[in-house]
Amino acid sequence: MNIGIEVSDLHKRMKTTPALAGVSTRFEPGTLHGLIGPDGAGKTTLMRLLMGLLKPDAGTIRFFDDGAETPFARVREHVAYMPQQQSLYPDLSVGEHLDFFRDLYRIPSPVYRERREELLRLARLTEFADRPAAKLSGGMYKKLGLLCALLRSPAVILLDEPTNGVDPISRRELWDLLYRQVEAGVLILLSTAYMDEAERCGKVHVLDGGALLASGEPREVLAKERAESFEELFMRREKSATK
């Protein structure tokens, strides 16, 4: 499948707080999209709306397969979601987690064996296959969560701050793993509060206070905003807000 997503004028309030205020943008297939913004920008809310975990107060979410609009129900099984707080089982090993998701997704044994070996190798977790999740480092834990999401070869991957709290080496390995998925034509939507990660994305969608400030290739957005970095862009907005 070649899945794309388009959101139009999305609004969502969480109690009395406007979490999203009229967000409109597109997420093309085969691209690593970054949702960039500080805590409270609306990144998690947008991801939950895309997954159908929340319903918008107004606006539309449309899914496309090879350019033709299609109901979410038809693409749902091809969309993987990795929330900020992962629910891995502390007593299960790396390998046992993959076995569990094999059964959950009903992946045929020959396909599973090949996919399992490939993912463990790419994540550099082969030698840790017998280690319980509770004894993994923070970076290894995040990589295991990503492998569970990748196991059924999704066409879309939604990752909510997957590098938060991860050491620099594991962050680099996670990004390498994601780039391989993009090369295979997967649409990846990744949220991050780390401004330095914005320029690693193919396209960025800059959120602040529930509003979409800009969308486009990272360098193009910075040039338009006359900023040297995304950190500078947000620091400038913060100063303007306090005046």
Assigned CATH for 28-242: 3.40.50.300
Contact 65, 3 (CB under 8 A): yes
Residue 61: name the closest of 146, 3, 1 by CA.
Answer: 3
Amino acid 35: pLDDT: 94
pTM of the entire predicted model: 0.88
43: tokens are: 């990144």
Residue 151: name the closest of 190, 112, 96, 93 by CA.
Answer: 112
Q: Which amino acid is at 91?
A: D
Say if residue 241's pLDDT is above 70: no
Burial 210-220 (b: 16+ CB within 10 A, else e): bebbbbeebee
Q: Quick one: average pLDDT of 41-51?
A: 93
148: tokens are: 């569970």
Which distant-in-sequence residues (6+ apart) come within 8 Å of 20 by Cβ? Answer: 10, 11, 12, 42, 45, 46, 49, 56, 210
Strand partners, 3: 65
The phi, psi pair for 152, rounded to 5°, reads -95, 20
User: For the segment 200-231, what is each residue's pLDDT rounded down to a tens digit?
Assistant: 999 999 998 899 998 999 999 999 988 888 88
1: tokens are: 């499948």
The phi, psi pair for 76, rounded to 5°, reads -50, -45
Q: Quick one: average pLDDT of 130-140?
A: 89
First to last CA, the chain: 49
Amino acid 43: pLDDT: 92
User: For the segment 149-173, what is each residue's pLDDT rounded down to a tens digit?
Assistant: 888 889 999 999 888 877 888 888 8
Contact 154, 119 (CB under 8 A): no
CA angle 65, 69, 71 (to 5 degrees): 90
Amino acid 163: pLDDT: 84
Say if residue 242's pLDDT is above 70: no
Contact 42, 194 (CB under 8 A): no
Helices (H), the chain: 43-50, 72-75, 94-105, 109-122, 138-150, 168-183, 218-225, 230-242
Q: How far is the CA of 47 from the CAs of 29, 50, 165, 207, in angstroms?
A: 16, 5, 20, 13
